[in-house]
Amino acid sequence: MKRIIQHWINNEYTNGVEQETSPVTNPATGAVSGEVIMGGSQTVDQAVNAAKRAFPNWRDTSLSKRVGIVFKYRELLNQRKEELASIITAEHGKVLDDALGEVMRGLEVVEFACGIPHLLKGSYTENASTRVDVHSKRQPLGPVAIISPFNFPAMVPMWFFPIAIATGNTVVIKPSEKDPSAVNWEAELWKEAGLPDGVFNVVHGGKDAVDRLLTHEDIESVSFVGSTPIAQYVYKTATAHGKRVQALGGAKNHMVVLPDADLDLAADNAINAGFGSAGERCMAISVLLAVGDIAEELVDKIAKRAQALRTGDGNRGTDMGPLVTSAHRDKVSGYIDAGEREGATIVVDGRQGDFDSEGAGFFLGPTLFDHVTPEMSIYTEEIFGPVLSVVRVESYKEAIELINANPYGNGTAIFTHDGGVARKFENEVQVGMIGINVPIPVPIAYYSFGGWKNSLFGDTHAHGTEGIHFFTRGKVITTRWPDPSHGGINLGFPKNE
């Protein structure tokens, strides 16, 4: 009997209202491992109603009690992190070590949320005007929605829900139907940590469920990560319905290698950032800009490393796992076909090779293109797979012009020994997250994660202090207590005296 993956509402599993299901596969074998129930608007209503009922009590729960539950969740997650990593590998396909790294980066946000009593402190001004005091506070929004992608089924939700919960909100999350079990596991962990009924709810589904979350009158905010077209849709729809929105979109991340760089270091990092998680990362490096006359040597170094990688089942100690579905594998393979047709030089062809797995997994090996130009589809499109394109440029100026002309602005990196050029780069480049000799500059939890241009819709990035502000609203209170000397009528505008 196939495993049925249910919704989680009011701290228990439920089939919801709608009964349609969608298969969940193991990408390394192609075998169907379960069926996820695809909820629609009625199941979303159930979850939102649970979150709405839970909100007043959770909002008024003391910070000490709230943070105690977050601390307990942190301890449980840390104790069982390998279990969650195995769930990720089984449904997403990334290798176990990569899956564990994802969990650890999510754990950092939970740890950040453990400091919520300090982070929520307001301000106080005594005697701002004569016998008038002013203070500020930040309060939770209410029920909030999280719509998360397939590529980081544990970490991306953890960018949002630890902070949302710690600040006093209740949550309805819709994970990807491709790998839904990680969020269900996290829901069970919250219950074990002592989170009250209705504070954390999970609804699985497709567009119907998403649309209901975007338009539901009781949802106060929406946090989304996914492709740019969907991020635009989420932003426009949810803001039109009066919601606060952070919608993180796609990317085309460039890595600049200057002639003075350590080429072995650059080659290692191009492999790590281009082919880790089979390229299914919004922070993956997909374009390498080789400056000056280093391209031949650098491409040769990258090619040798790429050819030595083992691709296969992530449970077998391989370097790179499969893509998430057969349809996505075929789509990425189509981009490789297009790059070859358009005249790029294919140095390493991932469509060919032996893969270490049993069954018909969704594999595509590391692929390296050289002599790529900005007009080619493999340059203009977000491929989201293990495809690295080398573009040869004459100068630093040409490299930065290419990056700034790109419609995406998520992440970028530069490899150099020249501190002056590096400083110039971080000042001039129009990208939200920048690495100096760091290929995947994902910020730690107490800094914010977010891109520029078509990589972000909304003003607020994920986690860090921006996350605190996103999940809270400010109030300013002006106070004057009655005084015997006070009295009389004055219709003039209040003056600070």
Pull the structure tokens for residue 404: 């700034």
CA 472 centroid distance within chain: 20
SS3 at position 188: helix
- Backbone φ and ψ for 122, nearest 5 degrees, come out as -90, -160
Residue 25 pairs in a beta bridge with 32
Element (H, E) at 331: helix 326-341
* Long-range CB pairs of 20-23, under 8 A, 24+ apart, other chains included: 22/177, 22/206
> Cα(355)–Cα(28) distance, rounded to whole angstroms?
10
Cα–Cα distance, 371 to 374 (Å, whole number): 10
Beta bridge partners of 356: 312
Cα dihedral sign, 313-319-323-329: negative
Q: List the structure tokens of 446.
A: 């107490």
Other C-beta atoms closer than 10 Å to the C-beta of 182 total 28
List the catalytic residue out of 230, 282, 332, 388: 282
282 is catalytic: yes
Say how many C-beta atoms besides its own lie within 10 A of residue 477's C-beta: 11
Q: Measure the CA–CA gap between 384 and 66, rounded to whole angstroms.
A: 38
**Distance from C-alpha of 198 to C-alpha of 169, rounded to nearest angstrom:** 11
Strands 387-393 and 367-370: parallel
Q: Give the distance from CA 268 to its chain's centroid.
A: 24
- Write out the catalytic residue numbers: 282
